[in-house]
A and B are shown apart, each in its own frame.
Chain A
């Protein structure tokens, strides 16, 4: 049953990802990308990471994609279907073919044989995923977490200055 569910979600995710690349209209690409993000959130739930699924839906599908759709509508771009797709299609297909062969060969041949940590599925279910991730962020990863706030501040200032017509 779970395998069937996994296959259905994979099918939806891959079809939506292909639609992102092939759609002529950027709005359709954005909607297909949101579909892919929801499929990834489903994967995170299946991997016992519900906090990551919630963040995926809120931050990616909710914030970043709304920003993108907003920009597409703000710019009011004409869809030019007459234009040729791209002459680079063959080159890109070859590169993509080798990328996928490379990745899958590496995956099938490799073994993830690191020492396993203490977080089993039962422990995550008992204590709660959000609490465990929060403990990890605020103890072992405190400095990167604080640096993240500086990164966001710089991004805010940069975006305002770039988008302004006259400073």
Chain B
């Protein structure tokens, strides 16, 4: 088993890459995938701490996070399809109906 800090550093880097992806990309599906990347970085932190502390609660939380991610993927992709049917585009700049 490796040192705890190395897992946490990898997790931090993955989370940051996901953040940069959400901020820079304009394709909604790619932004969605970056959010999944951030969720997975958090999952890695949970499992690393769970192993380090000898407590399984963190892994049960990872289980729930995966459930929420699956629900999010289903609803989010349905929203993207509904938006594409209306505007023929998945660019975030075109999602401006409620902009003031």
Residues of A within 8 A of B (CB): 2-3, 6, 10, 13-14, 17-18, 20-21, 26, 29-30, 33, 36-37, 40, 43-44, 46-49, 51-52, 55-56, 59-60, 63-64, 67-68, 71-72, 74-75, 77, 83, 85-86, 88-89, 91-93, 95-96, 99-100, 103-104, 107-108, 112, 114, 116-121, 132-133, 136-137, 140-141, 144, 148, 151-152, 154-156, 158-160, 162-163, 165
CB distance from B44 to the nearest CB of A (A): 6
CB distance from A79 to the nearest CB of B (A): 10
Q: Which residues of B contact A104 (CB under 8 A)?
A: 9, 12
| Candidates B6, B16, B79; contact of A162 at CB < 8 Å | B79
Number of A-B residue pairs having CB atoms within 8 Å of each other in the complex: 213
Q: Is the CB of B44 within 8 A of A43?
A: yes
| Candidates A6, A10, A88, A114; contact of B53 at CB < 8 Å | A114
CB distance from B36 to the nearest CB of A (A): 7
Given that A116-B53, A152-B67 are contacting pairs, would A49 and B33 also be in contact in the complex, using a CB cutoff of 8 Å?
no
Looking across the interface, which residue of chain A has its beta carbon closest to that of B81?
A: A163
CB distance from B60 to the nearest CB of A (A): 5
